[in-house]
Structure 1
């Protein structure tokens, strides 16, 4: 897969790792993420925990990327499988900020919002400039 790979192919890569597992009232792996860097594809799934120590699928995919010493994300998607099929889900605010903080150039990351819809991360974040001193 290249950085020019279609949204559909990236969605399929994420959907391929959806394997939900229920433990009591928690579900692990019901959201998956796939991202493309300059030369690789990384995937991850969410881990839901009762005490808030879990993490989003985007975090897992990004952790795999950082482990491989890559930091710039060309394109990213998250998907969830419900009873009626797979749906693309936008990154939560925490994930949006996390993507940005991994590398400032990730403001240009293409976030997949559907098979034929994307947005640069910068358009999905509030103000990203560090505030200037008041004096």
Structure 2
């Protein structure tokens, strides 16, 4: 679908993985950097980020961090995106975006419905295929 290979994008996301825990409130621990994401924009730039888990629900996914870096740089069209995580055995896995991330990608630009979402080394799908309904609701009046 796009000129950048899935392997290259996966390697870029893997490079930002930095899993760690930090103390939280009430003896709980917070996890950070367990998931890494990289996206490529219409201009061909790569942006990456990691997840931040918080007990209060104010944390965010790695895709959000990568998108924030992109927006900070003045871009909004995502051509391709991936997220990766290492399981308990150290095996690298590609993660599909959660529903919140899917909608967040969509909200950045209407053209992002055609964003290529990497699902494995060999497969991907357009964002529109991963969303149940992509049209805005019609008016009842």
User: TM-score normalized by structure 1?
Assistant: 0.95
CA RMSD of aligned residues (A): 1.0
> 1: distance between equivalents of 2:134 and 2:44?
27
CA distance in 2, matches of 1:133, 1:30: 42
Gaps of 5+ in 2: 24-28
How many residues of Structure 1 are paired with residues of Structure 2 in the alignment?
A: 133
Structure 1, unmatched stretches of 5+, are none
- The corresponding residue for 2:14 is 15
C-alpha distance in 2 between matches for 1:128 and 1:82: 32
**1:33 pairs with 37, 48, 51, which one?**
37
1:93 aligns with 2:92: no
In structure 2, distance between residues paired with 1:53 and 1:87: 25
1:103 to 94, 106, 109: 109
Q: From 78, 85, 100, give the equivalent of 1:80.
A: 85
